[in-house]
Amino acid sequence: QITLKESGPTLVKSTQTLTLTCTFSGFSLSTSGVGVGWIRQPPGKALEWLALIYWDDDKRYSPSLKSRLTITKDTSRNQVVLTMTNMDPVDTATYYCAHMGSYFDFWGQGTLVTVSS
């Protein structure tokens, strides 16, 4: 079965760079049509799509955050890494990674990242 799990720091300081890793199993990111995305959710607020990487290394970003985001994949290790630069307290959120065939059908449990000033 498909599983995903996010890992990374739980606390970062303002202006620092956040690096999150999504480790997955049950599928390959070299399979045509497959993607892995990142979505975040500030406490008590709605979901926000951040970035997506496809099997062919096509990368897509939220326009509002594009200058701060980088998404990469390591197919051999079944991992996707998201980096976000210049973190701010407003970036405090639970960060999820999700498998995408045609839509986000399998999600990780999420990891809460708190940004301190």
Q: Quick one: 67 or 76, whose CB is closer to another protein?
A: 67
Q: In the structure encoding, which two tokens stand for residue 91, read together? A: 């970036």
Q: Which of 43, 76, 103, 117 binds another protein (CB under 8 A)?
A: 103
23-82: contacts with another protein (CB under 8 A): 37, 39, 46-49, 52, 60-63
Q: Which of 31, 75, 109, 116 binds another protein (CB under 8 A)?
A: 109
Shortest distance in whole angstroms from residue 26 CB to another protein: 15
Shortest distance in whole angstroms from residue 9 CB to another protein: 20
What separation, in Å, do the N-terminal and C-terminal C-alpha atoms of the chain show? 40
Distance CA 108, CA 112 (A): 12
Kindly give, in sequence order, each residue whose CB lies less than 8 Å from that of residue 100, ignoring residues fewer than 6 positions away: 34, 35, 36, 37, 52
Distance CA 12, CA 33 (A): 34
Interface residue list for another protein (CB under 8 A): 37, 39, 46-49, 52, 60-63, 96, 102-105, 107-110
